[in-house]
Structure 1
Amino acid sequence: MTAVATAQTGRLVDERRVRPGEIWRIVRLLAVNPAIFFGVPWMILGGAWAVTMILALIIQGASSEPTAEIQEGFRYSWAVLSPQWYLVVVGVQAVAFTFSFALGFGSTRRDYWLGMSIMFVLVSAEMAVAIATLVQIEKATNGWGIGAGMFDALWYGQLGWGFDFFSTFALQLFVLFVGAGATTVYMRWRVRGMLVLAACAIAVVLAIIATLTFTDSWPALMSWFGSIGLFGLFGLLAAAAVIVGIAGYFVVRRATPR
């Protein structure tokens, strides 16, 4: 009886304290197949880059417009964001495929969520450094020597390397935590929870749209977004990533591994 009580007490202590070794073990567990986090996103991005280069060559060969006008057209390309949709799936898989396994080998839910969060930060930072650098290379080479534009598009290339890094990091972190957070809801409440989550999300969006429409607040909202600028916008996205990450932790504390 005493042994059981001691074991239970030790378990409670483990649940309440941070264990760096166990947290790092979760990071290594998630990195067992590095292609999921570090390989496939770059395969997607590389494929998008190859398609963009081929399109640029075709357009250059068939168009009589100046190269500068063609490059300006490439600024509206969304190819640089092509890995984001996959990273949502990565966030889902990170929890769905490893949560039960990690708990079965003695990790606590806190260990698991902190380790997964560190992995998400590492992946987001790696992608952010690379993409911000590729933007500068693309600009320096005048579109890879053929006037093509993939990385120097949308908001990229306007406010320098630091902002390109920050915006990419915030976006990557957000989509990863959204995928992971949605999976924790499923693991906690199954299909019913996902249906309630989707219904609540739709209801909130519709309520916001209705409020802005009936109060004629759309111009004020656009003006506010303009006042905070791109830094403020991606700062809000980074804050949203943190909020989703914290909410996911509180949900996963009650999730049932299967």
Structure 2
Amino acid sequence: MTITSPALAHPASPMKRITNVARLHFANPWTTLTLPWIILGVIFIGNVSIWWIIYSASPAENRADVLSGLNFGGGNFFIFIYMMVVAIQAMSITFPYALGFGVTRRDYYLGSSLAFVILAAIYTAGLTILAAIEDATNGWGFGGSLFATIFVGDTTLERIYVQFLLFLFFFFFGSAIATVWLRWKANGVAAFFIVLGILLVAGLALVTFTDSWGALGETLVSLGRIGIVSWSLVATAISAVAGFLLLRRATPRNSA
């Protein structure tokens, strides 16, 4: 990430300090705004090509079944994972730079959070528009689903809600990982994922040994996608608070 020099030092007000930090994360739009859409465009072209091949190779009497089978796509999910990586990269690179200009850890974290919320809104809007176009064109003429998948909802409002909350989760989960790196470097990140893996395995074991898979499935079905995604706000809030607390004692990499 190439960083320019926004006016970070001695801004006039707390809000100015926070917005200057947010601007810092957009100093290199290639990483945050350009490359993700390029990769998504490549995935889109690949999907359309595959749909065309499948559609063209299918007998006319089977095309209705073929089209229904193309409704279950998940190629756009990469962008949520990518935003987690963006958060990790952005904070680990810009944190020492911002502190060098006298920015407090509190203002840095609030400014970073503002940037992540803005990015979440931008990408949610973009994906929702693409989903609407996909609906209007009957899956780009082949009945395929890349943006209007069943996983993000059937209506515009549903898609906005689901995708925005998913982006928030991955941004703030990524920021929490970044603060672990800033606080304890590679050993801390390794320990974090080891503990996370242990907790996941323990959870799976608990569900298995208590014969609760059926109950878990019924609960998820009753919650629906809106309910499930709404619960992600709990994990997002935990990640955000943990990230803020860890950043208060983090040391810039070049001074460790």
Structure 2 residue corresponding to 1:50, chosen from 13, 29, 45: 45
TM-score when normalising by structure 2: 0.88
Q: Is the 8 A contact 1:67 1:147 kept in 2?
A: no
Q: Flag the 1:200–1:82 CA change in 2: closer, same or farther, 3 A.
A: closer
Which residue pairs with 1:3 in the alignment? none
Structure 1: which 5+ residue stretches go unaligned?
Answer: 1-13
Give 3-state SS (helix, strand or coil) of 2:148's partner.
Answer: coil
Q: Do residues 89 (structure 1) and 85 (structure 2) align?
A: yes
Structure 1 residue corresponding to 2:124, chosen from 124, 128, 133: 128
Q: Do residues 231 (structure 1) and 226 (structure 2) align?
A: yes
Give 3-state SS (helix, strand or coil) of 1:82's partner.
Answer: helix
Distance, in Å, in 1 between the alignment partners of 2:188 and 2:78 is 29
Distance, in Å, in 1 between the alignment partners of 2:182 and 2:138 is 49
Give 3-state SS (helix, strand or coil) of 1:243's partner.
Answer: helix
Which residue pairs with 1:113 in the alignment? 109
Q: Flag the 1:98–1:211 CA change in 2: closer, same or farther, 3 A.
A: same
| Deviation for aligned residue 1:239 | 2.7
Distance, in Å, in 1 between the alignment partners of 2:210 and 2:141 is 51
Give 3-state SS (helix, strand or coil) of 1:76's partner.
Answer: coil
Which residue pairs with 1:5 in the alignment? none
Structure 2 residue corresponding to 1:21, chosen from 12, 16, 24: 16
| Deviation for aligned residue 1:66 | 4.1
Runs (4+) off by over 3 Å: 65-68
Letter in 1 for 2:196: A
Distance, in Å, in 1 between the alignment partners of 2:70 and 2:21 is 41
Q: Do residues 171 (structure 1) and 163 (structure 2) align?
A: no
Which residue pairs with 2:206 in the alignment? 211
Q: Is the 8 A contact 2:173 2:239 kept in 1?
A: yes
| Deviation for aligned residue 1:54 | 1.2
Distance, in Å, in 2 between the alignment partners of 1:101 and 1:249 is 18
Distance, in Å, in 1 between the alignment partners of 2:241 and 2:206 is 28
Q: Flag the 1:225–1:148 CA change in 2: closer, same or farther, 3 A.
A: closer
Q: Is the 8 A contact 2:71 2:144 kept in 1?
A: no
Which residue pairs with 1:104 in the alignment? 100
- When Rg is computed on C-alpha atoms for both structures, the one with the higher figure is 1
Q: Flag the 1:110–1:122 CA change in 2: closer, same or farther, 3 A.
A: same
| Deviation for aligned residue 1:183 | 1.6
Which residue pairs with 1:248 in the alignment? 243
Which residue pairs with 1:201 in the alignment? 196
Give 3-state SS (helix, strand or coil) of 1:32's partner.
Answer: coil
Q: Is the 8 A contact 1:44 1:82 kept in 2?
A: no
Q: Is the 8 A contact 2:70 2:143 kept in 1?
A: no
Q: Flag the 1:147–1:214 CA change in 2: closer, same or farther, 3 A.
A: closer
TM-score when normalising by structure 1: 0.88
Which residue pairs with 1:7 in the alignment? none
CA offsets per residue over residues 128-171 of structure 1, 9 Å max, x none? Answer: 1121222122111112234333212242352x111111111111
CA offsets per residue over residues 189-215 of structure 1, 9 Å max, x none? Answer: 223322321221122112211211111
Q: Flag the 1:180–1:189 CA change in 2: closer, same or farther, 3 A.
A: same
Decide which moves more: 94-103 or 136-145: 136-145
Which residue pairs with 1:71 in the alignment? 67
Structure 2 residue corresponding to 1:192, chosen from 183, 187, 195: 187
Distance, in Å, in 2 between the alignment partners of 1:191 and 1:212 is 32
Letter in 2 for 1:180: S
| Deviation for aligned residue 1:114 | 0.6
| Deviation for aligned residue 1:235 | 0.6
| Deviation for aligned residue 1:89 | 1.5
Q: Do residues 147 (structure 1) and 124 (structure 2) align?
A: no
Percent identity, aligned pairs only?
Answer: 36
